[in-house]
Amino acid sequence: MGDSGSELPRLRPGRAIAHTTGASGSGSPHRSDSRSPQTPRGARQPDLIGRPGTTPPVPGRPAWVLGPLLLLFALLTWQAAVDTPLRRADERLAGTVADSRLPERAAELLADLGNITVAVPVLLAVAAHVAWRARRAALPRWWLPPLAAVGALAAVPALVVPLKIVIGRTGPPGMGGDGYYPSGHTATAAVGYGAACLLLLPWLRSRYLRRELVIGWAVLAGAVGFGLVRRGYHWPLDVAGSWVLSLIVLYVMALVVERYGPPSDQEPAQAAGAATGRSPAGPDPRA
């Protein structure tokens, strides 16, 4: 009784591992019993474009999405190549769009956004800007996303021109010759502005801005197609086929960048802030 105060403290069972990383009850998200944590602290955070976080394994974009897109494009191409009920309905829809109240000058302006003289400089400017920021942030393989974006736009004529020759669809009334499917202007706009959009997305920290950028691209691509049909330059099916073809090209670009580009666990925005000595801005309250 009298010498109990001088006795060395004894380790109680379980206390030695109570604060060991991964031990049950330690509060660490890495649980040794392989069960998912019950608190938000252990939850994985999403990355820049909403995919699961960077704790392995990280699932990327599924390649099987290309299958349905290719099947849809093959179906539209078949409908445009032969005389079918869908093709006849497509020609009636073209007349309805041509009679819409959109002024011809506005429709012409929208159609002109699909010219290579407009889409190519926009993409090159965005690619140069992103390449400069990525190199300044010392990102590995910083050159690959801009190069993939330029390559995606370069693939448009390589795909569209042979299809025009093979399908040989005649144009709307007043447009002579054939080779109108798919629409080259629609594909140029959708891929050119879409590739620029994909380049900019990782550099935007706000989910709100990323969402608005994607919506803006979709509206712009749709407006170009509508302007082409309104002016009588293309049938609606020509435009629809080009939209699907553009999605295929952009998805392949995204797969290449995801597979061979900078690691997805390194946020370009944060890397740029570290490179310039500034802390990245906080999240947008609207996100």
Interval 140-163: pLDDT, tens: 999 999 999 999 999 999 999 999
- Considering the domain boundaries, does residue 209 fall inside one? yes
- Considering the domain boundaries, does residue 146 fall inside one? yes
Q: For the chain, what is the mean pLDDT?
A: 80
- Considering the domain boundaries, does residue 32 fall inside one? no
Q: How far is CA 109 from CA 190, 225, 236, in A?
A: 16, 11, 18
Alpha helices in 137-235 (DSSP H): 144-167, 184-200, 207-230
Question: What's the domain range around 165?
Answer: 64-273
pLDDT value at position 283? 45
- Considering the domain boundaries, does residue 88 fall inside one? yes
CA 76 – CA 248 distance, rounded (Å): 14
Q: With cut-offs at 50, 70 and 90, classify the pLDDT of residue 54.
A: very low
**Residue 178, beta-bridge partner list:** 170
**Residue 170, beta-bridge partner list:** 178
Q: Which of 53-67, 117-131, 166-180, 273-287 has the highest mean pLDDT?
A: 117-131
Determine how many CB atoms are found less than 10 A away from the CB of residue 120.
15
Q: Please tell me the total count of domains within the chain.
A: 1
- Considering the domain boundaries, does residue 4 fall inside one? no
- Considering the domain boundaries, does residue 229 fall inside one? yes
Q: With cut-offs at 50, 70 and 90, classify the pLDDT of residue 63.
A: confident
CA 182 – CA 153 distance, rounded (Å): 15
- Considering the domain boundaries, does residue 283 fall inside one? no
pTM listed for this prediction: 0.73
pLDDT value at position 27? 46
The SS3 of residue 196 is: helix
